[in-house]
Amino acid sequence: MNINFKNILIALIEKEFKSYIRSINNLMNMIVFMIAIIILFPLTMGPSEEKLTLVSNAIVWIALIISIIPTLDKIYIGDFKNGWLEQYYFSPLLLEIIILIKCFVFWFFLIIPLSIFIPIFSILLNIPFLIIFWNIIIFAIGSLGFCLIGSICSSLTLGTKSNNLISPLLILPLAIPIFIFGNGVVEAVKSNYDPLPNLYLLITVCLILLVISPLISAYSIKIALTR
Amino acid sequence: MINYLANPNRFLNFIKPIEFSLGFLSFLFIFIGLYLSLFNSPEDYQQGDTVRIMYIHVPFAWFASFLYFSISIASIFFLIWKHPFADIIARSIAPLGLIFSILTILTGSLWGKPMWGAWWVWDARLTSMLILCIFYFAYIGISNAFPRKIDGSKPAAILAIVGMINLPIIKFSVDWWNTLHQPASIIRFDGPSINQEMLIPLVLMLLGFLFMSIFVILINIKTNLIFKKYQSELIKIG
């Protein structure tokens, strides 16, 4: 038996990737939901361009966030139900590292593909190209932090009767710094200021989450397994 | 002392004589405080009579955040020493804190309408208070979300500790950002900047709310202990 870090890593990523490919329905659901929100906003607000340019950026963000939240609390639930989490727990790798890999794979294969839709929706809502460019950067960084928060929440609600109600309550207050600094970048670009300070703050929040989130998630998964 | 009181029976014996006096003291302080604040304190030179909302708004806000702090301290005790009594204390504090935070927001918006012209503004202090309220909801939600009630204690304790980062944000939000909410006027480095005649009723109200919250929490703890005992008796009977 050749158990080294590299082999386990590759096997883990392969397994996660396959599970996402086979449940491609999740991604399709998210995309359909996003398109529905983007279409509903101009229809309910009235199509006047002045109103839309004020809130167009917010509409794109709301569509992305609301379509991500329902999948965010299901990072571990499948593995918990069919016993994979116990296998991870007994594997020679630390649970924290496995969680980090799982979050990265979730982010890379389920969230990053959504960034293709940012330019399409932005053109539909008349957002200028410079802001589209910054939006994609913010989304790439901020969504990683969002996934890490989702990892905390989905591990805390493992084994609940119905986790649909609590998860948005858990995710939103923790994610507020990401929204604030992401919005700060866009506002700075709109009014010709330097967007970098806000971007650095956004990166700082994500780095802090990168350190804290695997520890908390691993601890709460251990609690859920020993229950 | 903590070790001695950690036993539920000794704790119940310990609180039995002081319980009544706590309730009496809270009634006395709130009564005198309300009288002084409503009839015997000066009007603000800008705000007029509306300033009297402060005498309940400030205690609500202080104890909403202080009770969250005590929940997190109890949760830390629970996670480190795994003593079930710490969990019962944390669970008993939560509903009172939730009520206080909701009342803070309500009295604040009642005060904000005549002063700022709006029931609600998305200001740093107000938003962070709303987040505290959401954290209380999440805490109570997650601690009761499991089929067996005991299973919820550890996730809820983790959540309480994670939510503790919100407390310094609430306290210093008025100093860090430009807010519509007025800056701190009681706990400052250079002493309170509030008038003496307004400070005395406020301090009386704060003391009254302190005794009242301890009184209510003790009743909650007693109820939870009795409920737990009742459940274990049910299990014994089968």
Spans of chain A, pLDDT less than 70: 1-3, 162-164
ipTM, 2 dp: 0.86
Given a contact cutoff of 8 angstroms between Cβ atoms, the answer to whether A79 and A85 are in contact is yes
Closest residue in A to B131 (Cα–Cα) = A173
Residue type, B122: W
Residue B48 is given by DSSP the state B
Q: What's the confidence (pLDDT) of residue A216?
A: 93
Note whether A58 contacts B: Cβ–Cβ < 8 A.
Answer: no
Say how far apart CA B94 and CA B136 lie, in whole Å: 7
| Domain contains B119 | yes
Residue A134, domain extent: 5-225
Q: What's the confidence (pLDDT) of residue A164?
A: 66
Alpha helices in chain B (DSSP H): 2-5, 8-39, 54-81, 84-116, 124-143, 153-162, 166-176, 196-237
| Domain contains B206 | yes
Residue B172, domain extent: 52-179+192-224
Residue B44 is given by DSSP the state B
Closest residue in A to B164 (Cα–Cα) = A174
B238 pLDDT band (50/70/90 cuts)?
low
Given a contact cutoff of 8 angstroms between Cβ atoms, the answer to whether B140 and B95 are in contact is yes
Q: What's the confidence (pLDDT) of residue B189?
A: 67
**Between B45 and A25, the higher pLDDT residue:** A25
B211 pLDDT band (50/70/90 cuts)?
very high
Closest C-alpha among A39, A41, A40, A31 to residue A64: A31
pLDDT digits (tens, 9 = 90+) for B167-210: 888 888 877 777 778 777 777 767 677 777 788 888 999 999 99
Q: What's the confidence (pLDDT) of residue A3?
A: 67
> For chain A, how many structural domains are there in total?
1
pLDDT digits (tens, 9 = 90+) for B97-132: 999 999 999 999 998 888 888 888 888 888 889 999
Closest C-alpha among A104, A46, A40 to residue A66: A40
Closest residue in B to A155 (Cα–Cα) = B155
Do the chains contact at A170 and B138, CB–CB below 8 Å?
yes
Say how far apart CA B145 and CA B62 lie, in whole Å: 28
CA distance B162 to chain A (A): 9
Best mutation target among A77, A151, A166, A219 (most B Cβ atoms within 10 Å) is A166
Average pLDDT, chain B: 87
> For chain B, how many structural domains are there in total?
1
